[in-house]
Amino acid sequence: PSKQTIWIHGVSVGEVKAASSLHEFFKSSYPDYQLVITTSTFTGIKQAKASFPSAAYIGILPLDLKVFTNRFIQKVNPALFILCESDYWKNLLQNLKKHGCKVVLVNGKLSKRSFSRFSKFKRFSRVVFSQFDLICMQNQIYFDRVKQLVDSKNMVVTGNLKLDLVY
């Protein structure tokens, strides 16, 4: 990377589009930083190219195996990682923290079905959610679900970024 990096990940089109509301903020507030955008789908890449035209890199998130995530993190060298909505990958989050990166969840959500799965593996869930330096949930229901999985003082309900978009 030629500059300090802010890495934003959105699973697919909707998450990337929601994260796009942050684009102008980062461009104006952090002009010395470059943006790296990842997604998990090819349609997400297409949306990222439209939503983040000044991004230094847009691509697919590597598989959640330590060797792949570690190699990608070393190349990107992020100072800040922003996860939009969900896609909670344990190895990725742990490797980011080991690298000294700040990790933030924006527009967070946790469906009833996902909460049920995470509840069955509380230790795993605690490890995953404790990696976040800040957790911003869409609503009180999602907030309460995550609060049952991890005791974090850095959680807040911020609303839904998708509602901030201007069409």
**Between the CA of residue 121 and those of 5, 51, 95, 117, 125, what are the distances in Å?**
33, 36, 20, 7, 6
Rounded to whole angstroms, how far apart are CA atoms 65 and 121?
19
d(Cα 9, Cα 62) in Å, to the nearest integer?
Answer: 11
Give Cα 143 to chain centroid, integer Å.
16
Instruction: State the catalytic residue, choosing from 5, 7, 8, 15.
Output: 15
Q: Is 24 a catalytic residue?
A: no
Residues belonging to the active site: 15
